[in-house]
Chain A
Amino acid sequence: MKALIFDSGPLINLSMNGLLFTLEELKKNFDGKFLITEAVKREVVDRPMNIDKFELGALRIQRLLTKGVLEMASSVGVDEAWLKNETEKLMIAANGAVRFKSIAIKIVSDAEMSCLALSSFLNKKAVENLIVIDERTTRMLVENAQNLERLMSEKLHRAVKVDLHNLKDLARHKFIRTSELVYVAYKAGVTQLEGKKVLDALVYATKFKGASISFSEINELRKM
């Protein structure tokens, strides 16, 4: 079995772009589960359900949960209390990892860290998994913390230091963005669209709804 773990951004992105159906299509030939944590569900369903502007988007995501396309983390046997505890530990570690002098800068939220906690659980069970995340901070912290240090030092005009000694096994987490997910959907022929411009249109749409992908990365993707 495999598992694709969703942060809130990609589900919001697909919902806003009217592309949630691609998840249903991809799931048909996928030997595994599409998972979300309680913290992510709060951001994509529970909270927006009470905001007029986002209620429809939340209902669309709720429908995928009802249909079993998306499943809660508990469906893979993870104990909610354990996940909450691990999320909390990761929050403390990550929010203590970036410092300006003695000040720890809070850089991440619980939903983002809950994805890493779930990925760790699956890694221990030898379940191959990927995290779909559009925002860049969590991704940079895991994939290249030095880049995050440079970026924050430049932007904040302060010498920021990143120390990952309290964050173990970060390298085991693998990430894709909504942009790569729609690329897979395009290659799998499940986008219900035809023509030369389809890939461009899909990837740009994901960029403009929050996927942190640059124009040069998009060009690279187009060349593949």
Chain B
Amino acid sequence: MEEVEHKISVLEGTKQALLEKNASWLRELSNQTIHCASVHQDSGSIVTAVLVYSLSKLVERKDFAKIKGWDKMVHDLSELFTLAIKAAMENEEEEYNKNMGRAREVLDSFGSIKKYVDDVMRKAAVNKAAKVYEHGISLGQAASLLGLTNWELAEYTGQGKTAENKYNETISEKERAKTALDFFEVKE
């Protein structure tokens, strides 16, 4: 029930934030979806995370001013989010995923600037995969969930703060380095 309420709250928030062209709210909503996406790993949660983050980027860069048909796109997305909310309330997971998939297609098929939107979506997927990794899922599994390669994720995660987490250090660096030196029979 908690998860359903969360899905509904994110989509209701997204509808409103899109109308207000509020990029930071959209980004915050996208971050909220990561908990759900990491635990359930269902296509609906993954699509929501990527889609909402992509929208936050488009709004942040004021792309709505350049994109012909922005208002219609917001209207179409809003209708699909309403259908997804209805499906979530009725526990129709398949229907929920289907509507979120259709919402992604709306953004995907954005004729005039398709290539640009594709690029934004790809970067959003990398960002979300890195977040999933940050939450304790392995790099390979995070890449696989978002349909990415480990190559795309390696650089991005390397520049984040994941390695600085206090739980990251499992044995001392001295011990690990010594293991490596001994294995190769190289002197300290």
Interface residues of A (CB under 8 A from B): 2, 4, 8-9, 12-13, 16, 26, 29-30, 43-44, 47-48, 51, 53-54, 57, 98, 100, 103, 105-112, 128, 130, 134-140, 143-144, 147-148, 150-152, 155-158, 160, 174-177, 180-181, 183-184, 187-188, 207-218, 220-221, 224
21 A-B pairs within 8 Å (CB atoms) are namely A43-B150, A44-B150, A53-B151, A106-B137, A108-B138, A109-B141, A109-B144, A110-B140, A135-B133, A135-B139, A135-B140, A140-B168, A140-B170, A144-B167, A150-B167, A152-B135, A177-B176, A211-B163, A214-B163, A220-B172, A224-B174
- As a 0/1 sequence over residues 144 to 188 of chain B, the CB contacts with chain A under 8 angstroms (1 = contact) are 100001110111011100111101111111101101110110111
Instruction: Check if B154 sits within 8 Å of A16, measured CB to CB.
Output: yes
* A135 to B156 CA separation, bound complex (whole angstroms): 13
The answer to whether A54 and B149 have CB atoms under 8 Å apart is yes
Question: Is the CB of B82 closer than 8 A to any CB of chain A?
Answer: no
Expressed in whole angstroms, the minimum distance between the Cβ of A149 and any Cβ of chain B is: 9
Contacts A107-B138, A155-B134 given: A214-B168 contact, CB under 8 Å? yes
Expressed in whole angstroms, the Cα–Cα distance for A136 and B133 within the complex equals: 9
Among the stretches B16-24, B33-41, B86-94, the one at the interface with A is B33-41
A35 → chain B closest CB, angstroms: 14
Output the least CB separation between A119 and chain B (Å).
13
Which chain B residues border A144 with CB–CB below 8 Å? Answer: 167, 170-171
For B138, give its contact among A138, A156, A158 (CB under 8 Å).
Answer: A138
Least CB distance, A73 to chain B, in whole angstroms:
17
Q: Are B35 and A158 in contact (CB under 8 A)?
A: yes
- What is the bound-complex CA distance between A136 and B179, given in angstroms? 18
Contact B186 A187 (CB under 8 A): yes
B136 with A107: CB separation less than 8 A:
yes
Interface size on B, residues (CB 8 A): 47
| B52 to A: closest C-beta gap in Å | 18
CB-based contact A156/B35 at 8 Å: yes
CB of A176 within 8 A of CB of B136, answer: no
Task: List the A side residues contacting B151 at CB < 8 Å.
Answer: 12, 16, 48, 51, 53-54, 57
A98→B137 CA distance, assembly (Å): 10
**Nearest CB in chain A: distance from B155 CB, A:** 6
- Ranked 9 nearest A-B pairs via Cβ: A109-B140, A210-B154, A135-B139, A143-B170, A137-B138, A152-B136, A220-B173, A147-B167, A180-B180
Q: Give B residues with C-beta under 8 Å from A.
A: 35, 38-41, 133-141, 143-144, 149-151, 153-155, 157-159, 162-165, 167-174, 176-177, 179-181, 183-184, 186-188
Q: Which residues of B contact A16 (CB under 8 A)?
A: 151, 154-155
Which of B138, B149, B167 contacts A135 (CB under 8 A)? B138
Residues in A with CB closer than 8 Å to B134 are: 155
Say whether A176 contacts B180, CB under 8 Å: yes
Q: Is the CB of A107 within 8 A of B183?
A: no
Chain A residues lying within 8 Å of B184, measured Cβ to Cβ, are 26, 29-30, 184, 188
The residue from A4, A26, A211, A216 contacting B158, defined by CB atoms under 8 A apart: A211
User: CB distance B137 to A107 under 8 Å?
Assistant: yes
Contacts of A184 in B (CB 8 A): 180-181, 183-184, 186
CB of A143 within 8 A of CB of B138, answer no
| Cβ–Cβ < 8 Å partners of B144 in chain A | 109
- In the complex formed, the residue of A with least CB distance to B138 is A137
**Closest CB of chain B to A188's CB: distance in Å?**
5
CB distance from B33 to the nearest CB of A (A): 12
